[in-house]
A and B are shown apart, each in its own frame.
Chain A
Amino acid sequence: MWNYSEKVLDHFLHPKHAGEIADPDLDATVGNMTCGDALRLMVKLDDRGRIADAKFQTFGCASAIASSDALIELIKGKTIEEAERLTNDDIADYLGGLPEEKMHCSVMGMEALQKAIARYRQQPFELEDEGKIICRCFGVTDRLIEKVIREHNLKTVEEVTHYTKAGGGCRGCHPQIEAIIAKVHGEKAAVAAQAPPKEKPLTNIQRIRLVEEVIENEIRPMLKADGGDIELVDVDGRRVQVAFRGRCAWCRVKDFTLKGAVEAKLRELVDSGIVVEDVGGRLPQP
């Protein structure tokens, strides 16, 4: 039995902000059903750019639902710039603390907010879109792992698992997580950013053509071999919207296919800033 605070139980049993917003300005989902928790955050802005209303839909345990509700309590009435500074600790503190093993629920809240903001600004979402997947069981990137290690001064794999779930499944990635812990603590100074090499920018029309070409010649044949298929729905700047068809549409690991295969291929062959979204799936999208 978890030792949940009164506040956690209250927000779980009587969430104030569960629901949907018909035409949200910000909308993002993190996590998925396979992982055991997922959070969709929807935000409506007023004409002065403040968060007028926000709603969540969450699949998960009591602390996941409570964290989602707390997140919205904390961001309502703020501007995006103010909300952006919210950390997972703010959520956990607001709830009167969370059990150590449940800290990942507060991290999920923070992630959802940052992803929604990144999508709104049409920027790639650093914690998901950049970096590489370290934990395949729960789809956690090295970026997120590094972030929590740095912010919470984590020292062990177990702590990283509590905050991100990474390493909580098959344990195959434990050596990699250990390496990241060593790297962060060892060379904190050396992490100072090195400017990435400049690429020659593509024009919109070039990018669209290239995306079409790569999907047709590289990606579709690969998916078709497994009985799946993909359709290009739209290209908006570096945002590429696709829809999975055939077997892919129902595949349990389609998120990995989306990020690990489709996006990786497009980044390799078209533009390293590309973000791919699945708009044909089961979740309603803006």
Chain B
Amino acid sequence: MKKNLQWKIILVLAVIALSVFLAYPPGKKIQLGLDLQGGMHLVLQVVTDDAINTETDQEIIRLQEQMKKSDLTYDSVIKSDERLGRIVLQGFDATKEREVRDLLDEYFKEWDNSVTGSNATLTMKATAMTYFRDQAVRQSIETIRNRIDELGLSEIPIQRQGGPTGDRIIVELPGIEDPDRVKNILKTTAQLEWRLVYGGPAQDQETLLLEHDGKLPLEMEILPGDPRRNLGGNYYLVSRVATVSGKDLRDARRSYDEWNNPAVSFRLSPEAGRRFYKFTSDNLQKPLCVILDKKIINVATIEDRISDSGIIRGFSDPDVVDDLTIALRAGALPATIKYLEERTIGPSLGADSIRKGLTSIVIALILILAFMVFYYKLAGVNAISALVLNVLILAGALAYFKAHLTLPGIAGIILTIGMAVDANVLVFERIREELIQGKSVLSAVSSGFSRAFRTILDANVTTIIAAIFLFQFGTGPIRGFAITLIIGITASMFTAVFVSRLIFDVSLSRKRKRTKLSI
């Protein structure tokens, strides 16, 4: 046997060994896509406008403070309804126009301002807007990741879609049995706040304002009671600024109050604890409310000083408390979240798909085996060996790249089996032609392979081009299909050209003068 033949054999054996090593046992090494193992695929959209609005609200408070510090008076500061990220400052002393302009230039660098007479408009700069939107998406991803961790799931891929300016998030959760609960937990904004209550409850907003001559004082705000709790249908007049909020939380757990109703027990950071202690000392016997996502869930009188821990009452369902504590521990979402797409597949359907997919693969293999042996005799066996090796390499590569095997992926494997044979067929047909022209077996094999190679290359590259574009455009299962197709076709070039040739060479080298080829 020739030296270089030996090396080739070693190479092929090494490839086999590597593939088996990577893919065995397949149950553990090859990861299944959601459609095969069951689970939930979610596409969420972060409503980043919310983040811009929040930022604008905070800047309005800062503007009020700065104006006060500089002893500048004005009629009102409001958020513009017409345009996102715009603040309108009205009715300051027109003679102080210059001071106002200086103040805006110095302290509000993220905003473009235009000052005319006694009015000014601030518009958030485009760069700042992009920044806040991006931050909102990043923070949302972080929060969602935390919540999923809290649910006891790990290594969940969370992707941002659409590059650095994209506002979409893809979450893939395997093996979920209660999709609705998970969806609710992920979606809860979970912005928790403690604020003072100035008035209420009242049936409508006008009643609340009677005490204040029908005008809403600047430092106050009207919020509704949570309809799911017994505060429904009522409105309260509360302070605009929160004393303590969800950001100050260090921990939140389910517990029970004195009457054995479910409650949330919380612990604050030391700094927030001191703040809360001072605040409750100053406001003893006044009503305080707990607000969750802009709805009041509980109102109680401050009976005692509270420092860094306490409980929130007002719940009836322990499951609601559980889900809320999960969301609170994981942190609040900076913006509202919408679901754009949702796919849930039950585990039994997945198992069924695997079984049917494997059946199809086996049947396809047998059919092709029968066909090839019938048509090409011994050379058919050669092709089948190459084919089996191809599937082996495919399995190894899938395991190595940690690609998920999906149902379309299985279809990709079956298709690869059908198409991989093509390379063999091209070669065999060429060899037959050469034999008919009267060439010797050795030279027919040799020129058959070399002439067919160019054809195989051209034909396969185009299929790979199609697969690459498919990969670009697709998500989840479709990508799985594109990947198996790309790997399978690449592997088929190796197996059909290199391995199959080697098998011919080895069998021909044994007998010096071979005049017949079983093809």
The answer to whether A and B interact is no
CB within 8 Å of A: which residues of B?
A: none
